[in-house]
Structure 1
Amino acid sequence: MKLVGALVAVFRETACLTQRELADRACLHQETIASIEQGRRPLKPDLARLLDSILETKRALSTAVENMPEVDLIPAWAEEYMDFEREAIALSWFENQVLPGLLQTENYARAVFRTDVPALSQDEIEQRVAARVERQEILQRKIPPTISFIISEATVRDRLGGKNVHIEALRHLRACAELPGIALQIMPLGRETHAGLSGPFILLETPDHQHIAYAENQRGSQLITDPDEVSILAQKYAMLRTQALNPEETKGLLDLRLGDP
């Protein structure tokens, strides 16, 4: 990221442009250009193509981004997904190990990041918690997105952070189940069939009705735009909805867990 950022700075200076001038041409904030040049913010593929055009760099930046090491691609894909998430009109989210980020309390998120291996510094933990909580603002939009969540019962039973954090997370989950536009379903333990054994994923619809998907694993993440691949995940999600408890049954299970946490 630092190398790519340094290339942006060199090409910008060669073109005799200030950061503000380049930002204006790209319809960005000056701080965005500054963050990219300092290696604090990843250069995403679409912006790399735009800057190549503005700076007349013959795909140099696009090629650099396409060939970044996997460890640097992870935050780039994640940030690109979060750009889509902020504007989404619909989300379908399946999780089997941890509560979805949009449904986590601050204390639960902190407990999640404290389990990272290798361990994160306290500053890194607090930065990630703040970013996760900020993302939840989309639930309070004037016109919120339509969101379906399917979560494994195991995530409801796990006590990340201890008893108090667990109870707070359950109460927050129960409150979120009443928000307009949200359908929360729990996949109970002991099912004989399960369409999501390959792991968690998210389906998203953009304001211009583009359908994309996003998936993470232990060492990476992937933004999926191929219609065939998105269709396969949509079929999986549809099957999961038939296998999980319906929203009313889910509320009942959460009430039961809160009565005996």
Structure 2
Amino acid sequence: MEQSAHSYSHVVRARNSASTRAGGEFAAMSTTTRSRRSRRNASAMRMVGALLALFREAAGYTQKSLGEIFVVGEQQIASIEQGRRPLKMDLAEQLDQLLDTKGALVAALSEMPEVDLIPLWAEEFLDREREAIAISSYENQVLPGLLQTEPYAWAVFRSRVPFYDEDTIAQLVAARIERQGILQGKNPPITCFVVWEPVLRAPIGGREVWIEQLRHLRACSELPGLMFQVLPMNRTSHAGLNGPFVLLETPEHQRLAYAENQRGSQLIADPDEVAILTQKCAMLRSQALTPEDTRDLLDRLLGEA
């Protein structure tokens, strides 16, 4: 299988996060998961580090020469610039003065959030999703983010425990709606969504939100290259009992998988692990209603509503 320049081959990445949803996929894969504790504002730290590198180079300093001036060493400067070590406020003040940055580093530190809105592990997945040529998704908790209406997304984020404040929810919803642009682009990816029927019938957000969401799903089901299928409740065999997952194919034809559970998420590129999920996806599609029968189900639900 052809690999991209930034290969993820034979890697399973795991991240802990209180912001992930219920799931439970890959409970049996813990032995292949590499866990690493990361700072909760790692993205912001990387941005501050990138600013420092930019200012340092503009002023004509190397990491070594800057480290010698402040007696912190070249390695510490490198770690700060790479986002692996936090920049302390007192050092930021001295750097602003030396590099003549008009207080930019101090201002960046002052505005740096304690927790990233979108953690690094999620950014990695979103980057791959944006460039994917094919996306397959199975959901048994909530409707796929790429198919959610704005009111439904608000209801999902308002259901989170511990609770988000309204400003945070607004930012998360805006980011989710922006993601959906990939379905409307000039060359959208081939997408397949399989959703368990209880998810479709759950009136998240109330009756009006639910009806609007059903109408949106019905419209999305007509998009070119998009297949929406419902897995009925009366099936006696169910290949997705372990939880939701997403399969991606990159422009280089690398296949990746992503899964979430109550306390973490995984971006998976190990071919053997991706193959297992690919088999599950194929089985789920065979167990689900056809896209045509799914549209009929949506029409019936809307008629009953």
Equivalent residue number for residue 209 of structure 1 = 253
Is 1:172 equivalent to 2:216 in the alignment?
A: yes
| Structure 1 pair 121–59 and aligned structure 2 pair: CA distance change class (3 A) | closer
| Structure 1 pair 15–180 and aligned structure 2 pair: CA distance change class (3 A) | same
CA distance in 2: counterparts of 1:203 and 1:58, whole angstroms: 34
| Structure 1 pair 244–231 and aligned structure 2 pair: CA distance change class (3 A) | same
Equivalent residue number for residue 78 of structure 1 = 122
Equivalent residue number for residue 110 of structure 1 = 154
TM-score between both structures, scaled by the size of structure 2 = 0.66
Equivalent residue number for residue 244 of structure 2 = 200
Deviations 1:93-118 (A, max 9, x none): 10001010010001110110110111
Contact 2:137 2:247 (C-alpha < 8 Å) held by counterparts = yes
Equivalent position to 2:233, from 174, 180, 189: 189
Code of the aligned partner of 1:176: C
**1:221-260 aligned within 5 A:** 221-260=265-304
Deviations 1:117-176 (A, max 9, x none): 111111011111110000111111111110000001011110011000000000000111
Q: Matched residue of 1:154: which SS?
A: helix
| Percent of residue pairs identical | 57
CA distance in 2: counterparts of 1:191 and 1:13, whole angstroms: 61
> Can you give the 5+ residue segments of structure 2 that lack an aligned partner in the other structure?
1-41, 61-76, 86-114
Higher CA-based Rg: 2
Q: Matched residue of 1:91: which SS?
A: strand
TM-score between both structures, scaled by the size of structure 1 = 0.76
CA distance in 2: counterparts of 1:145 and 1:17, whole angstroms: 44
| Structure 1 pair 200–17 and aligned structure 2 pair: CA distance change class (3 A) | farther
CA distance in 2: counterparts of 1:113 and 1:256, whole angstroms: 28
Equivalent residue number for residue 157 of structure 1 = 201
Contact 2:139 2:243 (C-alpha < 8 Å) held by counterparts = yes
> Can you give the 5+ residue segments of structure 1 that lack an aligned partner in the other structure?
19-55, 65-70
CA distance in 2: counterparts of 1:92 and 1:127, whole angstroms: 26
* Structure with the larger RCO, 1 or 2 (CA within 8 Å, 6+ apart): 2
How far is the alpha carbon of 1:61 from its aligned partner? Answer: 3.8
